[in-house]
Amino acid sequence: MVVRQETRPGTGAGETPPEFRAAVESMREAALRPEVFCEEMPAPQRIAPYSFALSADVTVDDTDVGTGRIILLHDPDGNDAWDGTFRCVAYARAEIETDMITDPLLPGVGWTWLVEALEAHGAEHTAASGTVTRVATDSFGGMSDEGGTAQIEIRASWTPQDPGALRDHVEAWGELLCTAAGLPPVPDGVTAMPSRRGQRGPGR
């Protein structure tokens, strides 16, 4: 994954701490599936002194089937609510079959996707929390021919135990996006590497 935008510290922050720079570089090294187009985005600057964010879209046959973002927050003074000095905040949204919206097990399954992705990528963490939301949309009048749509939204945050290994956390988030979008898992023994379609760099 190749990205260009530089990290920008939050309001009032001084020189960027080396541990934050190392964490950001680790995030930039993440290898995502070719269906995932990932790039840097402006990070919120009022939640923590330092922040960095990535956004991604999952595209299959030129159709966007999922989207999300992951934000890294850093407060050198620590944060009691985080139980640490770093915090990952992630969001994932994907289209699902409309008949799944009434499944009472869906929220629990959605949370399991996140937990299992973090475990599979060795993204050690603590203090995980979040929500899973089901969204149904019906069309009427002149739009009635479009039929209904359904989506699942997963919002979560957790404290990474090793900020120098944020690559694992980004790759877990990428897997969550693909799982929510209904993509089959990558076979065992096959490493997901980004194609040009999943990268952005000078001249692209």
pLDDT 10s digits, 15-66: 899 999 999 999 999 999 999 999 999 998 889 999 999 999 999 999 999 9
Of 93, 26, 111, 96, nearest to 56 (Cα)?
Answer: 93
Determine the 3-state secondary structure of 164 from DSSP: helix
Average pLDDT estimate for 146-174:
94
Determine the 3-state secondary structure of 128 from DSSP: strand
Average pLDDT estimate for 159-164:
96
Of 86, 84, 88, nearest to 158 (Cα)?
Answer: 88
Measured CA to CA, the distance from residue 169 to residue 122 in angstroms comes to 8
The pLDDT tens digits of the residues spanning 52-68 come to 999 999 999 999 999 99
Determine the 3-state secondary structure of 195 from DSSP: coil
What CA–CA distances, in Å, run from 86 to 96, 113, 133, 147, 185?
32, 22, 25, 43, 29
The pLDDT tens digits of the residues spanning 120-149 come to 999 999 999 999 999 888 778 777 777 678
